Amino acid sequence: MSLQSLFGSRTQADVITALDLANGNALSASTIARLFDLNVEGTYRCLSRLRDLGLVREVTKASGKQKLYQLAKNELTKNVVGIERSIRKKADSSLLQVLTESIQLGRYYFSLPFALRITYDVFYAPNYLLIVSDDDATLAIANEIAAKFSDVRLASKNALLRGREFYFDKSFETTLASTEQAIADGLNWYSEIRDPELIRVLLATPYRFDWLRLSRLLSDLGKKRAYEILDRRRIVYGESPPMNYLKPMNRNVDSLIKDLDKEWQSILLPNRSL
């Protein structure tokens, strides 16, 4: 049985899932709609129905300008959520799954490596996880949980979520960055992430990405790192995606440059003996 067949519609199933994974964090209809790619008006109507049924309660922000919603605390909600979890929950004890069940939806997204959907290395399996949040308490909980996982390193970044691209991914059942956002995160914070798969992917398949969108998500340093990767490809092949909105580095002392020097020949000149 699927959640959609249980609750009668995709919107209703997604709204209940969102409020359950919020773990007490009150969400707006627009936030739920954006994360789950739903129609905003339909989300409002669904929340109103669930409120009338007693499953959802409204919470008004201090400003009084926006309605937020939480699951109601009653026996009906407990039963409905219990069924929802039994269908949705995976038998998975990975750091990603444990964090998803422990922190509040709407206050974070996971980026690399799971959000890098286009990879060069078919055996790509790095042992780190990047979480981005603008909430100190969320990051504190995440770091406390991650400390119990000796085989995975958690990279946590405190940054504003506004203006970033992320959504609820149903295959992983958590909030993930878009591909462009994941690449931007990896380039912006490369000295801390240090994942050369980003270099390999951008050298090998740069045209698979929306560079206009990507440039808007990059910091000045991220733009310089992207420029150096594309410029190395341009030197070898004589072409690359447009680079006019990126910036060259003044000095090649960045950690990405060191990794780029190690990677570019095997990607761009694979048939040449090194």
pLDDT tens digits, one per residue of 104-117: 999 999 999 999 98
pTM: 0.83
Q: What is the pLDDT of residue 1?
A: 47
Tell whether the model's pLDDT for residue 15 goes beyond 50. Answer: yes
How much is the pLDDT for 88?
A: 66
Using DSSP bridges, classify how beta strands 153-158 and 128-133 pair: parallel, antiparallel or unpaired. parallel
Which residue has better confidence, 219 or 249? 219
Q: Alpha-carbon distance 134 to 165, whole Å?
A: 14
Distance CA 149, CA 197 (A): 23
pLDDT at residue 273, as a whole number = 42
Cross-strand bridge partners of residue 69: 27, 58
Instruction: Please tell me the predicted confidence (pLDDT) of residue 203.
Output: 96
- Over 90: is that where the pLDDT of 164 sits? yes
Confidence of residue 191 (pLDDT cuts 50, 70, 90): very high
CA distance 142 to 135: 11
Q: Tell me the pLDDT tens digit for each residue of 27-74.
A: 989 999 999 999 999 999 999 999 888 889 888 766 667 789 988 888
pLDDT score, position 229: 96
Q: What share of the chain in percent tops pLDDT 90?
A: 58
Contact 81, 15 (CB under 8 A): no
Whether pLDDT at 130 is above 90 = yes
Q: Which helix (H) or strand (E) holds 53?
A: none
Q: How many CB atoms lie within 10 A of CB 265?
A: 13
The Cα 139–Cα 214 span in angstroms is 25
User: What is the average pLDDT across 150-175?
Assistant: 93
Structural domains in the chain plus CATH codes: 3-88 (1.10.10.10), 95-268 (no CATH)
User: Is 50 exceeded by the pLDDT of residue 237?
Assistant: yes
Predicted confidence band at 208 (pLDDT cuts at 50, 70, 90)? Answer: very high
- How far apart are the C-alpha atoms of 163 and 161, rounded to whole Å? 6
